[in-house]
Amino acid sequence: MVHWLQHETGGLLLLCAVSIAVLLFLIIKVKLEPFIALIVSSLALALVAGLSVDEIVGTALSSKKSLLETGFGGLLGHIAPIVGLGTILGAILERSGGADVLTRRLLGVAGERGAPLAMGLAGLIFGIPVFFDVGIFVLAPLVYITAKQGGRSLVLYALPLLSGLSMTHAFLPPHPGPVAAAGLLGVPLGWLIVFGLICGIPAFLVSGVAWGAWIGKRVIVDVPEEYVVGEEEKVGLTKGEPSKDDVPAKEPEPEPSLTLVGLIIAVPLVLILLATFGTVWWEDSPALPTLTFLGNPVVALTIAVLLAMYLLGIRRGITSAELSDLAARSLRPVGMILLVIGGGAFFGAVVSATGVGKALADTLSDAGLPVIVLAYLIACGLRVAQGSATVAIVTTGGIVAPLVQDKDYSQQHVALIAIAISAGSIIASHVNDGGFWIISRYFNMSVRDTLRTWTVLETILSVVGFAMAALLSTFI
């Protein structure tokens, strides 16, 4: 049987399908942690496919690295510092009050009629350095007060914000999903930034602005009074004065300027892009090594973090000890994310070693189905089945990576395949997604209303983002 599985395309594809089914069963029914489920299903796939113990986990006498080592270590060595530095940068921006400054300025420029769009832009910009759920926690009070003052449905203001946060979380580094997809497929982050913006911004406009405006007039959700009590003075959106009895423990920190906040967010993106395009535009320039060094994602994010620590922290009265504690606290949730990504990388290494990638490539060639379409459909199926966007991305990336390596695709085309995977990973958020319940709770929506608003928004964001990637892939 093992001999047949190793040499028959149908047998290899069946093995891959069964391993994914086992993975979903362990996550959904057994409630096993996703990274443990990924390891179990990967080991099972490797053993049934006939890979040797030495190849899977190594032995004391073997000098060759095992799939377990290369799978976990190879990808995590690439993305762990990027995700960690991005997390610290987002925490400092949050702690400094940068979100309040950004949102107030956008609201001031947009006025009452443009307030929903302003909230969307705030989510889009602030969502670049911060995790999706952190962005909700920080910006939700601003949505409450804006909706209260505008006298319209909370949905009208919340959906553009959520679309902006979700778009950046799905399509742009340094968020874990797109960084993992880039690492698995071997594409520079610069191209992912370029195509993430090109594909993501239209998706944001359709899902957050157009859909948000339409459904926001039809799903009426009031802002409970307790949501805004004590928040108005804190975020400074009203003319109310704080109580005389409310004496702060220490002098409040000065507010950062909008220019400074924007500069710190832009620094790593610009450096990474310069390094990416430097190899195309300035191939013979003596400045290229410098650009390459500064534009390495780890170096670029380190520069941004150091700037943020000084300009948004120490210079504004935040001590080094407070910054150290802030960094430590911000990194705590990252551990499980990295373990899931590492487990997905191991799964991908096993898929490649078993020959499933070649079997898929042969099947695709016979069926005429483009890799970008297959990548999107697999990611969609995994997302709907088990709810985690990260699991959907790393599992799909592991399956698709061998297909990309066997073809002579350009870096731009591979970046678009990574965008397609990311787009599939966010489709149809529903009750098995933790983000669904965060949004239901924070924006005072019933399950039915959350399905009518947020679930549809995520589906539109996914479909439009993929459509843009697929369209561009036909010209690249």
| Highest-confidence segment of 32-36, 99-103, 116-120 | 116-120
Number of Cβ within a 10 Å radius of residue 71: 28
Query: Phi and psi dihedrals of 462, rounded to 5?
Result: -65, -50
**Gap between the Cα atoms of 385 and 427, Å rounded:** 11
**Gap between the Cα atoms of 383 and 466, Å rounded:** 15
**Structure confidence by residue, pLDDT tens digits, 330-365:** 888 888 888 888 888 888 888 778 777 667 766 766
**Gap between the Cα atoms of 207 and 200, Å rounded:** 10
DSSP label at residue 165: H
**Structure confidence by residue, pLDDT tens digits, 296-305:** 999 999 999 9
Residue type at position 474: T
Residue 302 class from Cβ within 10 Å (0-12 exposed, 13-18 middle, 19+ buried)?
A: middle
Q: Using the predicted structure, report yes or no on whether residue 10 has a pLDDT greater than 80.
A: no
At residue 54, the 3 state secondary structure works out as: helix
> Residue 282: pLDDT band by 50, 70, 90 thresholds?
confident
**Gap between the Cα atoms of 209 and 192, Å rounded:** 24
> Residue 311: pLDDT band by 50, 70, 90 thresholds?
very high
DSSP label at residue 451: I
Sign of the dihedral defined by the CA atoms of residues 79, 84, 90, 93, in that order: negative
Q: Using the predicted structure, report yes or no on whether residue 244 has a pLDDT greater than 50.
A: no
> Residue 251: pLDDT band by 50, 70, 90 thresholds?
low
Look at residue 334 in the predicted model and tell me its pLDDT. 84
The domain spans of the chain are 77-237+256-473
Which of 456, 311, 437, 387 is CA-nearest to residue 23? 387
* Residue 424 or 360, more confident: 424
CA distances from 119 to 63, 104, 133, 166 (A): 55, 9, 16, 13
**Gap between the Cα atoms of 391 and 304, Å rounded:** 29
* Residue 141 or 367, more confident: 141
Average predicted confidence (pLDDT) for the chain: 85
Look at residue 266 in the predicted model and tell me its pLDDT. 92
> Residue 239: pLDDT band by 50, 70, 90 thresholds?
very low
Burial readout 323-338 (b: 16 or more C-beta within 10 A, e: otherwise): beebbeebbeebeebb
Look at residue 402 in the predicted model and tell me its pLDDT. 82
> Residue 223: pLDDT band by 50, 70, 90 thresholds?
confident
**Structure confidence by residue, pLDDT tens digits, 49-93:** 888 888 888 765 566 778 888 877 777 777 889 989 999 998 898
Which of 212, 199, 211, 213 is CA-nearest to residue 168? 199
| Highest-confidence segment of 344-353, 387-396, 457-466 | 457-466
Which spans in 282-410 are helix H? 288-294, 297-308, 320-331, 334-354, 356-367, 371-386, 389-405
Q: Using the predicted structure, report yes or no on whether residue 367 has a pLDDT greater than 80.
A: no
Look at residue 358 in the predicted model and tell me its pLDDT. 67
Look at residue 17 in the predicted model and tell me its pLDDT. 82
**Gap between the Cα atoms of 168 and 191, Å rounded:** 15
- Is the separation of the CB atoms in 216 and 153 below 8 Å? yes
**Structure confidence by residue, pLDDT tens digits, 256-271:** 888 899 899 999 999 9
Which of 204, 239, 220, 209 is CA-nearest to residue 114? 209
Q: Does residue 174 have a cis bond before it (omega within 30 degrees)?
A: yes
Which spans in 151-287 are helix H? 154-171, 176-185, 189-204, 211-216, 225-228, 231-235, 258-281
At residue 78, the 3 state secondary structure works out as: helix
Torsion angle (degrees, nearest 10) of CA 372, 408, 67, 416:
-30
Residue with tokens 């320039």: 285
Which of 84, 72, 74 is CA-nearest to residue 297? 84
Q: Using the predicted structure, report yes or no on whether residue 406 has a pLDDT greater than 70.
A: no
Look at residue 347 in the predicted model and tell me its pLDDT. 84
User: Angle between the 411-424 and 176-185 helix axes, to the nearest 10 degrees?
Assistant: 140
Which of 305, 389, 296, 281 is CA-nearest to residue 340? 389
Instruction: State both tokens at 247.
Output: 């004496």
- Is the separation of the CB atoms in 403 and 371 below 8 Å? yes
**Structure confidence by residue, pLDDT tens digits, 145-193:** 889 888 899 999 999 999 999 999 999 998 999 999 999 899 999 999 9
Residue with tokens 């797109």: 178
Number of Cβ within a 10 Å radius of residue 251: 7
- Is the separation of the CB atoms in 37 and 27 below 8 Å? yes
